[in-house]
Amino acid sequence: MVDASKQRPVAVLSLNPAVDITYEIPRLIADQKVHASNSRYDPGGNGVNVGRALKRLGVQACTFCAVAGEIGRFLRHQLDAQLDQACYLEVEGETRINGTIIESLTGAQFEVSGVGPAVSAAQWTHLLEQFVTHCGKGLGVITGSLQHSLPDDLYADAVRRVQAGGGRAIVDCHDEQLRHAIGAQPFLIKPNRFELETLVGHSLKDLNAIVREAHRLQEQGVSRVCVSMGADGAVLVTPSEVLKGEAPAVPVVSTVGAGDSMVAGLVAMLAQDASDEDALREGIACSVATVMQPGTELCDRATVEWLRGEIRLTSL
């Protein structure tokens, strides 16, 4: 349980949130209508998922969202019950809808990410100022996709602003957005293995290769690099050590939101100035607890508490 009196401020940026629709079907059939056996609607988007998971962990955080249109109003209605605190920026257009299809016969999962509304430079600046002010000397979580109207180096600007104010920037994005953000030297980044391979331009065949590339990112000014590796756990490279974490095998229902939940677990511990070991353990526990949930549902506290004792950490 998080002690709110000892917690640093936490601000979460979610420029492109969504309503996530999940359909469970027997199997996709080309050019044929398939009837779902189950469907659900959840708030979505990386930043929103981080904020939702933090609330479940008892961490006080404010999530800064850009929302639009009727879908945006529906999303706000959902978020009012699932976020600790939210600050909404109203823009023109419609909030995006993401779709996930899960085949019960094969276990395959298909995801389609929608297109969000345009956000102007002036609107972005206004939201960023609020985000940085709330963050203060705490943690600023910068994650998720950007609208097409915004430049790839926008997150780098956010990182610089957070850290110039005495805060710590936590970044979880990919491709050119991640590359630019790394140049701004954030406190922590959390790519998954594929995102790290994309960043460095070649496959990483084993753990040694992953750790080697993480050290190279540290040489560029990133204090901590956490790489999630699916069923193989995660590795956290810090200034003083390399930690590998593994979790017990669990039934995987849906992987949507697992990475966001890991970020939330890391942030929950870092907000209390806990050890790197505790941060990695919490991150993995939250991620594993999420894959046990249907659709885009996230981890629950009881499962996270059980998993904490099951995570095995080793120093490499």
Bridge partners for 314 per DSSP:
244
Residue type at 128?
L
Catalytic residue among 232, 260, 276, 300: 260
Rounded CA Rg of the chain: 19
d(CA 235, CA 72): 36
Catalytic site includes residue 260: yes
- Whether 227 contacts 214, CB under 8 Å: yes
- Whether 281 contacts 304, CB under 8 Å: no
d(CA 189, CA 236): 10
- Whether 14 contacts 46, CB under 8 Å: yes
- Helix, strand, coil share of the chain (percent; to 5): 40, 25, 35
d(CA 122, CA 10): 24
> Which one, of 164, 163, 235, 223, lies nearest residue 193 by Cα?
235
Structure tokens at 2: 């998080």
Residue whose pair of structure tokens reads 């199997």 in the numeric block: 27
- Whether 257 contacts 286, CB under 8 Å: no
d(CA 43, CA 54): 14
Q: Is 72 exposed, middle or buried (0-12, 13-18, 19+ CB in 10 A)?
A: buried
Active site residues per annotation: 260
